[in-house]
Amino acid sequence: MKPLLLDLGNTRLKWTYLEERNASGAGRDLQVSAEVHVGSSLDSVLEKRWRELPRPSALYVANVAGEALGSALAAWVWNQWCLKPCFACSASHFGGLRNGYRQPDELGVDRWLAMIAAWKKYQAASCVLDLGSAVTLDLITADGRHLGGYILPGRRAAPAWLARHTGDEASLPPLPARITVEPGTGTAEAVAHGTAAAVLGVLRQALEVLREEAPRGQPESSPRLLLTGGDAADFLPACGPGAIHEPHLVLRGLAEMTS
């Protein structure tokens, strides 16, 4: 039996069995499955996708979807496997990485786990950009200090929020396939392009903060930019040639915490 890792997000759940470290010792191979849960009961999703899974030796969970879904998950897992999930939480430090929040447990566990994975792999100044229902950016210096971060509405959430607060939900536009910051020539374009421009503008600010944190006298090097989350692949071309797509940072961080 192997441990099962679960990233329970606001829109999707992603899971993988925890494999042994690969031959180089540099990491683990993750075979990740995913399912949208928003708009459905969690029980129905688990019955559909987890009923035939082999019983894991343990279940480790990163939950940002709320206490109610966490409780529903715990009940289903107990009924199915007689297991109690272990829910990860943010801490003040881990493996040389130091949480920059004044109250460390206030930091979203998904952000903390993504930073753990980034720090474990790169050990370098990094900006972790998570493009999901919300967009989060977290800044890590070359010596492992988390400087804090930024949070703003995601690509899908921002237009929906605007529609609700302008009384125009019925005309909520579809998202364009391409990420661009060109001025929109219609309302739908203006909303979509404005959302993208906001994300990329905050990203520029975050990278500048990291550059200013580089030690004096040290040759300036560009911080690593790591993209994760459901919209990461769409944003990757707009973030420049140095951007790196790391689609499973939360699960990789969870794997590190269980080691």
Give the DSSP H or E segment for 210.
helix 187-212
Question: Quick check: helix, strand or coil at residue 108?
Answer: coil
CA-CA distance, 56 to 59, in Å (whole number)? 7
Task: Decide: 131 and 154 in contact? Cβ < 8 Å.
Answer: yes
Q: Please measure the distance between the N-terminal and C-terminal CA atoms of the chain and give it in whole angstroms.
A: 16
CA-CA distance, 19 to 21, in Å (whole number)? 6
Query: Checking phi first, is residue 62 left (phi over 0); if not, alpha (psi -120 to 50) or beta?
Result: beta
Does the annotation count 7 as an active-site position?
no
E strands, 126-223, where? Answer: 126-131, 134-140, 146-153
Question: Quick check: helix, strand or coil at residue 74?
Answer: helix
Task: Decide: 152 and 137 in contact? Cβ < 8 Å.
Answer: no
- State both tokens at 243: 């951007």
Task: Decide: 210 and 139 in contact? Cβ < 8 Å.
Answer: yes
CA-CA distance, 64 to 110, in Å (whole number)? 7
Per annotation, catalytic residue among 7, 105, 110, 231: 110
Those residues with Cβ within 8 angstroms of residue 2's Cβ, 6 or more apart along the chain or in another chain: 17, 18, 19, 56, 57
Task: Decide: 210 and 225 in contact? Cβ < 8 Å.
Answer: no
Would you please indicate which residues are annotated as catalytic (active-site) residues?
Answer: 110
